[in-house]
Structure 1
Amino acid sequence: MNEQRKVNILYGKQIYLRPAVPNDLDDYYTYLCDAEVGKFTGTQQTFTKEGTVRWLEKISTPDDSRVDLMIITKDTDQLVGEVVLNDIDPVNRSANIRIGITGGENRGKGYGSEALLLMLWHAFEKLHLHRVELGVFAFNKRAVHVYEKLGFNREGVQRDLLFLNQEYHDSILMSMLEHEYREKYMVESK
Structure 2
Amino acid sequence: MKPAYASYVCGAVRIRTLTEADLRETLEWRNRNGVRQNFKHSAALEWNQHHAWFLSYRDKPDDIIFIAEHVASGKKVGQVAIYSIDYAGGRAEIGRFVAAPAFQGKGLMREAITGLMGFAKQELRLNSLYLEVIETNERAYQLYSKLGFNEVERKDGLIFMERSLNGDVQQ
TM-score band, normalised by the shorter chain? 0.7 to 0.9
Instruction: Number of aligned residue pairs: give it.
Output: 171
Distance 1:77 1:122 in 2: 20
Instruction: Provide the TM-score with structure 2 as the length reference.
Output: 0.86
Post-superposition offset of 1:104: 4.7
Distance 2:21 2:50 in 1: 12
Distance 1:72 1:80 in 2: 5
Post-superposition offset of 1:82: 1.3
Is 1:88–2:85 an aligned residue pair? yes
Partner of 1:45: 43
Q: 1:176 to 1:41 in 2, by over 3 A?
A: same
Distance 2:36 2:80 in 1: 15
| CA contact 2:30–2:98 (8 Å) conserved in 1 | no
Q: 1:101 to 1:151 in 2, by over 3 A?
A: same
Q: Which moved more, 1:21-30 or 1:136-145?
A: 21-30
| CA contact 1:28–1:79 (8 Å) conserved in 2 | no
Is 1:117–2:114 an aligned residue pair? yes
Match of 1:172 among 140, 159, 164: 159
Post-superposition offset of 1:75: 4.4
Distance 1:37 1:76 in 2: 24
Distance 1:80 1:43 in 2: 23
Match of 1:34 among 32, 35, 40: 32
**Matched residue of 2:83: which SS?**
strand
**Matched residue of 2:34: which SS?**
helix
Partner of 2:12: 14
Consecutive unaligned residues in structure 2, runs of 5 or more: none
Would you tell me which structure has more helix in proportion to its own residues?
A: 1
Match of 2:125 among 96, 118, 128: 128
Consecutive unaligned residues in structure 1, runs of 5 or more: 162-169
Instruction: Provide the TM-score with structure 1 as the length reference.
Output: 0.78
Q: 1:105 to 1:117 in 2, by over 3 A?
A: same
Post-superposition offset of 1:115: 0.9
Paired-residue identity, %: 20
Is 1:64–2:61 an aligned residue pair? yes
Distance 2:143 2:49 in 1: 31
Distance 1:62 1:111 in 2: 29
Distance 2:83 2:32 in 1: 21
**Matched residue of 1:95: which SS?**
strand
Larger radius of gyration: 1
